[in-house]
Amino acid sequence: MKNIQISLVASSIRPRLWLTMFDSLKDNKLNWELIVVGDVKPDYPLADNIKYIYSKVKPAQCYEIGFRQARGELIHWTADEAVYDYEKFDSLDTMYKYYKSFNDYKVITAFTVMEDNGDSFSITSSSHRIGDKTTPRVACFGCISRKFMSELSGYDYRFITGQAENDLCMRALKVGGRIKFCKEALVAVFHPNAHADNQIDSKFRKWYKDSRAFLDKCWFEVPNVVAKKRLIPFEPFENLDILTISQGPKGEW
């Protein structure tokens, strides 16, 4: 079995967008795999290095399932709307070289994220924090070693949708990890296309607020002042029925 350098993991929301994502990954030289977990099935055949896992559990748990299935040296949380370096198409190669340059398995490396919000355009890597400008920068499209992910025990089961990755980054920082941003490894996210007429996605965005509230309870005693340690003890997902039963808060899922 060939060695895999990067495992990309996403929840299954928009199969209509996957082909664009696949196309943007094809020119990378390293070996990669994509694992997509959720209850929205693609209606077309998938390549050998792309794995779809059917599950009706909540999105944060879908990611946890994907992490546990990953075989790559690095695990990369992503989204099915992502387009990787729409000019060069070698962002994975660039990211892997960047990660290896640190010679430190506790470093989390992050893509530079170009976000098109319809009425505005932003570069997330220079501004993505869990609070104001004094709080740590975290990685919304990050890569972590499988070894370090195992030591951190993945996501907390009380997250529903987004923000679980921010909590993971904060826990990494608290145990001596680092977060580094690669300017040359680009990901583009086109929100107007991704969120058009999609009720499933609307639910994802709705329950995002609950996950954000839990993140704040974990890390802020007062607004924008990060606690010296996590205020709520971490609780991982359990193995039992992880594919079939949502653990913790479920939202409308």
Which among 50, 40, 252, 37 is positioned nearest to 155, based on CA atoms?
37
Cβ–Cβ < 8 Å for 90, 28: yes
Q: Looking at the domain assignment, is residue 244 inside a domain? A: no
What is the predicted pLDDT for the residue at 176?
A: 96
Residue 97: the pLDDT is: 97
User: How far is Cα 11 from Cα 250, in angstroms, rounded to an integer?
Assistant: 15
Residue 239 in tokens: 């193995």
pLDDT score for 60: 94
Is 253 contained in some domain?
Answer: no
Quick check: is 114 in a domain?
Answer: yes
Number of domains in the chain: 1
57, 243 contact by CB (below 8 A): yes
- Write down the pLDDT at residue 128: 81
Q: Could you tell me which residues come within 8 angstroms of residue 97 by beta carbon, excluding any fewer than 6 positions away?
A: none
What is residue 218's predicted lDDT score, i.e. its pLDDT? 98
Q: Does residue 18 contact residue 81 with C-beta atoms inside 8 Å? A: no
Question: Residue 72: what pLDDT?
Answer: 97
69 in a structural domain: yes
In a domain, 235, yes or no: no
11 occurs within a structural domain? yes
pLDDT in tens, the chain (253 residues): 589 999 999 987 788 888 888 889 988 999 999 999 998 899 999 999 999 999 999 999 999 999 999 999 999 999 888 899 766 678 999 999 999 999 999 999 999 988 765 555 566 665 688 999 899 999 989 999 999 999 999 999 999 988 999 999 999 999 999 999 998 999 988 766 656 655 555 556 778 889 999 999 999 999 889 999 999 999 999 999 999 999 999 876 5
C-alpha 120/C-alpha 126 separation (Å) is: 16
Sign of CA dihedral 201, 13, 130, 187: negative
Tell me which residue range forms the domain holding 76. 6-226
- CA separation, residue 33 to residues 40, 48, 66 (Å): 19, 9, 11
CATH number at residue 27: 3.90.550.10
Burial of 46 (0-12, 13-18, 19+ CB in 10 A): middle
CA 13 – CA 8 distance, rounded (Å): 15
Phi and psi based region of residue 248 (left: phi greater than 0; alpha: psi -120 to 50; beta: remaining) = left
Query: Considering the domain boundaries, does residue 146 fall inside one?
Result: yes
What is the model's pLDDT at position 168? 98
User: Tokens 């996605």 appear where?
Assistant: 201
Position 248 in a domain: no
